[in-house]
């Protein structure tokens, strides 16, 4: 099992989006790469400096990091600084945070391709993960618990794939 940490705006939608893909074994929403330990959601909303981030634990034999990043770039505006959809603030910055330097071999080509496509430097941070603190229980699987809840990712993007393997279907 491998893991990657992705910040792509409000983490409710990010979690719902990535949970649909086969090979994604576990996801957790939290706060990453900020200056203080174990912030609360309120702290983060008051510009603590953390990014709302999704921890993705995946099986690289079923889904590659490249594929996961392709999905990621389908649902973010990579040129937007500190704003995704209707949400603005430093917690909504975008970022790819890795825990294994080796992953750069897969990350860099995707990043470069997206930058060429965009024709401008991406606002997406590309950094090692510095820290990650799990978000409060009410934020985990939020859109499963609150199907009509706010989401910056369009509804149809939540059904690109259906999980069929090992009874993990969520869609």
Question: Known catalytic residue: 151?
Answer: no
CB of 24 to ligand MHO, least distance (A): 20
Binding mask 136-155 for ligand MHO (x = CB under 6 A): --------------x-----
Q: Is residue 87 a contact residue for ligand MHO (CB under 6 A)?
A: yes
| DSSP-based three-state secondary structure for 170 | coil
| Closest separation in Å from C-beta 136 to ligand MHO | 10
Alpha-carbon dihedral 42, 45, 51, 57, rounded to 10 degrees: 50
Is 10 an interacting residue with respect to ligand MHO (CB under 6 A)? yes
The answer to the question of residue 52 lying near ligand MHO (CB under 6 A) is yes
For tokens 């900020």, the residue is 34
Give me Rg for the CA atoms of the chain. 15
Under the binding rule (CB under 6 A), the answer on residue 12 touching ligand MHO is yes
Residues 6+ apart with CB under 8 A from 15: 27, 29, 54, 140, 141, 142, 143
Applying CB under 6 A, which residues contact ligand MHO? 10-12, 52, 87, 150
């Amino acid at each position: 099992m491998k893991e990657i940490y992705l910040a792509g705006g409000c983490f409710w939608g990010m979690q719902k989006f990535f949970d649909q893909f086969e090979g994604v074994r576990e996801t957790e929403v939290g706060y990453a790469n900020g200056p203080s330990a174990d912030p609360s959601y309120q702290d983060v909303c008051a510009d603590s400096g953390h990014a709302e981030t999704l921890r993705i634990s995946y099986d690289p034999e079923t889904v590659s990091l490249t594929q996961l990043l392709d999905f990621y770039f389908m649902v973010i505006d990579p040129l937007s600084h500190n704003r995704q959809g209707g949400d603005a603030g430093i917690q909504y910055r975008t970022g790819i945070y890795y825990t294994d330097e080796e992953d750069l071999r897969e990350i860099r080509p995707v990043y470069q391709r997206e930058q060429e496509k965009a024709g401008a430097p991406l606002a997406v941070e590309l950094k090692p993960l510095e820290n990650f603190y799990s978000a409060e229980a009410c934020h985990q699987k939020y859109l499963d618990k609150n199907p009509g809840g706010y989401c910056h990712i369009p509804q149809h993007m939540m059904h690109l794939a259906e999980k069929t393997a090992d009874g993990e279907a969520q869609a």
